[in-house]
Amino acid sequence: MKENKFGKKGWTPERIKNIKGKTFLITGANAGAGFQASKILLKKGAQVVMLNRNPTKSAKAIQQLKSELGADIKVSFIKMDLSDLASVRNAAKDIIEKVPVIDALICNAAIAQVPTQQFTSDGFESQLGVNHYGHFVLISLLFEKIENEGKRIVVVGSEGYKMGIKTFQFDDMNWDKNYHPMNTYCHSKLAQIIFSYELQNRIDAADKKTKVYVCHPGASATSLIKTSGGLRDRVIWSIVSKTPLVQSAEKGAYPEVMCATEENLKQKAYYGPTGRMQWTGPVGECKIEPFVWNRELAAKLWSVSEEATNEKFTI
C-alpha cells in the first residue's frame, strides 16, 4: 500500500479549506453517504443541491439538517429519479436553469443487490439503469456547464467492481439469461468506474478542463442493502454492519467529499478507505485492479451506453 499523502489519519474534513458559497450537487443525498456528505459540506458553509427521487424523504432529510445545523443552511432539492431517463433529463434542465455554478457534481446514488431482475422505466436492468445509465445521461447533459466553469465530477464506485465478472456482458446487458443480484450490482459499478476513467481520458485528449475523480466508501453502515437488497442479504448485512469490518456512514462520505473539495488531487486514481480490505481505515489513494484501464472495453461501453440511452455524449 502506498504511503498516505494525508498522513496517518488519512483525509478528514478538517482539511477542507474555504468552500463558503460553493455549490455541490449530490445524487441520492437524502440517506447514507450522500446525506452525510451533504452535512459535512453544509457545515463548512457550502450550498448543497440534493438530486433525489423521493420528495417526502428529501423534505425530512432537509428538516433534519436544518434542525442540526441551523435554519439558514443553503440546501435545496431537485426531483430526479435515475430509473427514469425522462426524469433525469427534466432534472438536468432544471439544474441548468436554476443553479448558477456547479462546483462539483457528486454521482453518489445507487441501488444494490436487487434480489430479482427488475427494469427501469426505460427497460434497463435496474442496477445498470440507475447506477450507470442514469448517471451517464446526467453527466452528459451537465458536461458543457461543468466544463465551461472548469469544475469537477465525482463518481462513487464500489469495491464490488472487482467482485463480479470483471467485464461487460455486451450480448445481454439486462442479464436475461443469468440474473444474479451481486454480479449484476458489480457489473453496474464496474461500468461507472470504467466510464469515469474513459471520461477523464477523453477530456484530456480534447484538452478540456473538467476534472473527474473516482472513489468508493469502503463498507459503510448506510441504508443501501436495507433499501434495495433481498431478505437474506439484509439479514447478513445487519449483522456484519455492527462489526468493526464496517465503518459509519459519515466515514463512508469522506472519500466523495475529499474528491469534491481537495485541491491538486491526482486524477485517474481511486480513492477510499485504505485499511483492511479497503473496507475501513484512513482515506487516501487505494489500489485498483489493472483491468479497469482497458480502453477498448471502455470505448465499447461508451457506445453501448449512448445507444441504449439515446444520448450522444461527445467531449
Ligand X SMILES: NC(=O)c1ccc[n+]([C@@H]2O[C@H](COP(=O)([O-])OP(=O)(O)OC[C@H]3O[C@@H](n4cnc5c(N)ncnc54)[C@H](OP(=O)(O)O)[C@@H]3O)[C@@H](O)[C@H]2O)c1
Ranges of H-type helices in the chain: 32-43, 55-69, 85-98, 126-127, 135-149, 181-205, 224-228, 231-240, 249-261, 295-309
**Smallest gap, in angstroms, from Cβ of residue 83 to ligand X?**
4
Distance between CA atoms of 38 and 46, rounded to whole angstroms? Answer: 9
- Give the residue, chosen from 10, 19, 25, 28, that forms a contact with ligand X under the rule CB under 6 A: 28
Reduced to 3 states (helix: H, G, I; strand: E, B; else coil), residue 168 is coil
Per the structure block, which three cell numbers stand in for 292? 479497469
**What x/- string results for residues 222 through 251 when contact with ligand X is judged by CB under 6 A?**
xxx--x------------------------
Binding of residue 280 to ligand X (CB under 6 A):
no
Of the residues 133, 161, 185, 213, only one is catalytic, namely: 185
Binding of residue 210 to ligand X (CB under 6 A):
no
- Give the residue, chosen from 169, 200, 220, 309, that forms a contact with ligand X under the rule CB under 6 A: 220
Per DSSP bridges, beta strands 270-273 and 23-27 are: unpaired
Q: How many other β-carbons are positioned within 10 Å of the β-carbon of residue 209?
A: 13
Secondary structure letter of residue 125 according to DSSP = B
Residues 56-85 that bind ligand X (CB under 6 A): 57, 80-83
185 is catalytic: yes
**What x/- string results for residues 116 through 155 when contact with ligand X is judged by CB under 6 A?**
--------------x-------------------------
**Smallest gap, in angstroms, from Cβ of residue 183 to ligand X?**
15
Q: Which residues contact 314 (CB under 8 A, 6 or more apart)?
A: none
Q: How many other β-carbons are positioned within 10 Å of the β-carbon of residue 144?
A: 11
| Closest C-alpha to 196, from 128, 268, 133 | 268
Stretch that binds ligand X, among 136-144, 212-220, 257-265, 298-306 (CB under 6 A): 212-220
**Smallest gap, in angstroms, from Cβ of residue 207 to ligand X?**
30
- For ligand X, the binding residues (CB under 6 A) are 27-28, 30-34, 52-54, 57, 80-83, 108-112, 130, 156, 158, 216-217, 219-220, 222-224, 227, 252
